[in-house]
Amino acid sequence: MHLNAMHTCTERVREDVIPRRRRTAALTAALALAAAPVAGVALAAPAQAHDELLSSTPEAGQTLIEAPDEVSLTFSGNLIDGQGIQNLIRVRDADGNQWQADSGTVEGDTFSAAVCPDLPNGDYELAYRVVYSDGHSEERRLDFTLDAEGAPEAGTVPEDCGVAAESAGGSAAEEATDASQAAEENGQAAQASGDPAATTEAQDDQAQEPGLPGWVWGLGLGGVAVIGLAAVLMFRKASALGHTDTPEDR
């Protein structure tokens, strides 16, 4: 009798533990499936972040020993050019003289401008304002220094190339105001304001704005609901199978 009792007890433990393991495994798989759409939406968010400056020539803070022929900016996305949009690039010395030789050229994700010959030694500010293909704008300045042997002295005023300080006008942002307003009226660009000297902190705040369209979130939540329902059904089925198992079946 003692052996029979032990056998009966063992069978009851098996009947209780095995279905429980099956239910746990089914629930784990269902939860993994339900979490997949949420993970997909979360991973898609960084891809929707605003474009930004990747590199510049000269680099920020760089000291050059030869005068550059041009300045160049490379971004993470293409720029809007034309269509009432005005991208601006300026090379200014410490006195406010401008030394860019032209208004700049946009080629996809690159914005460049020729620099006047005989660039004097000294500190310079490379300021720009651009509008990205996603509609948002960015204004920023980068500083560099020229210390070239034989270059004109700092304080030299541009004559046949560039723009002298007394006639240079306002900042890159101020020069772009009229063009920006015209673009807004036509629905072709987002509003842009401020000075190219806008801090990196302000630009980072702008870059953190949500970029996912509403339909992506709707699709993700719908997927969660469908897979959640499937998880419940799978759990119930696993529970039913566990209760109908017999020791002989196992």
Give the pLDDT confidence score for residue 6 in this predicted structure. Answer: 53
By the 10 Å C-beta count (0-12 exposed, 13-18 middle, 19+ buried), 239 is classed as middle
Residue 61 has pLDDT above 70, yes or no: yes
Fill in the amino acid letter for 138: E
Domain assignments of the chain as residue spans, ordered by start: 17-46+213-244, 51-207
* 213-247 confidence digits (pLDDT tens): 565 566 667 777 767 777 777 767 666 665 555 55
Give the pLDDT confidence score for residue 131 in this predicted structure. Answer: 95
Give the pLDDT confidence score for residue 236 in this predicted structure. Answer: 72
Highest mean pLDDT pick, 17-21, 131-135, 209-213, 230-234: 131-135
User: What is the rounded CA–CA span in Å between residue 213 and residue 17?
Assistant: 47
Token duo for residue 96 = 């406010």
Q: Where are the alpha helices (DSSP H) in 45-119?
A: none
Right CATH for 51-207 from 3.40.30.10, 3.40.50.620, 2.60.40.1220, 2.60.120.260: 2.60.40.1220
Give the pLDDT confidence score for residue 203 in this predicted structure. Answer: 46
By the 10 Å C-beta count (0-12 exposed, 13-18 middle, 19+ buried), 96 is classed as middle
**C-alpha closest to that of 18 among 243, 235, 232:** 243
pTM for the complete prediction?
0.55
